[in-house]
Each structure stands twice: as structure tokens, then as C-alpha cells.
Amino acid sequence: MCKVPLVQGEEHVCLLCLCDLPHTGFHLQEENPVFHLFTGKTSVVRAAAWLYFEKGGKVQRIIHSFKYHDNKDLARQFGRQMAIALQSSPYYKETDVLLPVPLHPRRERKRGYNQSEWICRGMASVWNKPLCTDVLRRKTASATQTNRSLYDRWLNMQEIFVLHNEHSLEGKHILLIDDVVTSGSTLSACANLLLTIPNVKVSILSLAVA
């Protein structure tokens, strides 16, 4: 990011850049702008994002690095950092399982990994919670959401996810995790499908909000 050589104890990003990231503080607020993104779309218990995503900013460069430049270890590191930050929040300790938003298999094969899964892996290493990657699946590769209206984004995301062996999540409080939330359409579609599982609760967490 800043191009300054890392010192002992630093990993991928220097301490100065980590401290200078634009934090939202939403994980400490029961209701916040990310939570309100889902009002009327889905019935989630909590929703938050840890960082602000700004075009051309540090967070965009970080996310582009682990999304498009084969840097899954950076995604895992930021998952750990987010989990450490959220330990001060009273709102996410009761979740039972971490579930990343899935990529379409073709896109995941091309990229080599799902960046949201690696964020979850980093979080799981701190919280000691199980990671679920085999229940929620993407059956259709959605078209790009860029330049679509909010309604078109919502419509574009309907019925592109399916459940598999969902009985393993019955009665669980699921923390659904993605890298960036914009309109909330993708996360709403995932949450609504997960909420068809008996006695399930869903909360949402994103690394960043655009």
C-alpha cells in the first residue's frame, strides 16, 4: 500500500496503514446504515461493515489485491483483524457458524479461491467458530451489477442460490460474510434463502461498505 518495507511482526500491510484505515464503527451500533440497507428486504438480526470502501482509496486497493491478484493470505489477514476488532462488540458473540457468500464454481476455478471464504478463515482462527462452505451454493453466474438500478440489482440476484444439506444448519445463528456490501442485494438473496431453514437466525457482516 504505502510501499514502505515491512518490519518484523508486520504481515502484508504495515502497522501505520492498518491504523489509518477508515473504520466505520458500525459493529458497535445495534442499528447503523448497513443494517438499514436490509430493512424491508430480509429479516436479519444484525448487520454491519468494518471499513468504508472509497474509490481509489486504501480499502479498494486491499480488496482488489486479494480479489484479483491472487492474494488470499491478505484476505485471511483482514479476516483476523476484523474478528479481533469485533471482539469488543456485544452483537456478534452469539453467532454459531461463519458462512461466506459463495462464488459461482466457474468464477472460483478461474480465481482459484473465494475471497469471502478466506476472510472467514481468518475470522474463524480468532473466534474458534466453525466455517460452513457446503450448504449455500451459487447455481447461476450473475451478470455485473455495475450501473444497474437498486431494483434491477435486487431482481438480478433472485433465485441464483440454492441450499444443499441444509439440515446441518437447523437451529443455528449464521453469520453471513462478504467482502463488500453495496446495495445489499446479494446478501439479501443469500439471507432469505438461509432463513427458509427451520429455526435459523441470520446476521450479516461485510469487510467494507461502498
121-148 per-position pLDDT tens digit: 999 999 999 999 999 999 876 555 455 6
pLDDT band at 9 (very low <50, low <70, confident <90, very high): very low
Residues 35 and 42: their CA atoms lie apart, in Å, by 10
* Residue 7 covered by a domain: no
Residues 14 and 64: their CA atoms lie apart, in Å, by 17
- Based on the structure, what is the number of domains in the chain? 1
65-91 per-position pLDDT tens digit: 888 988 999 999 999 999 999 999 999
Average of per-residue pLDDT values in the chain: 88
Cβ atoms 136, 122 nearer than 8 A: no
* Residue 4 covered by a domain: no
* Of the listed ranges 31-35, 45-49, 137-141, the one predicted with least confidence: 137-141
* Residue 6 covered by a domain: no
* Residue 110 covered by a domain: yes
Which positions ≥6 away from 36 have C-beta within 8 Å? none
Q: CATH number of the domain that 54 lies in?
A: 3.40.50.2020
* Residue 105 covered by a domain: yes
Cβ atoms 173, 142 nearer than 8 A: no
Cβ atoms 171, 24 nearer than 8 A: no
* Residue 10 covered by a domain: no
Q: What is the predicted pLDDT for the residue at 20?
A: 77
Buried b (16+ CB within 10 A) or exposed e, 79-89: bbbbbebbeeb
Q: What is the predicted pLDDT for the residue at 139?
A: 86
* Residue 1 covered by a domain: no
**Domain of residue 116, residue span:** 15-209
100-115 per-position pLDDT tens digit: 999 999 999 999 999 9
- Residue 101 bridge partners (DSSP): none
pTM over 0.95? The answer is: no
* First vs last C-alpha separation in the chain: 19
* Of the listed ranges 7-16, 51-60, 69-78, the one predicted with least confidence: 7-16
* Residue 125 covered by a domain: yes
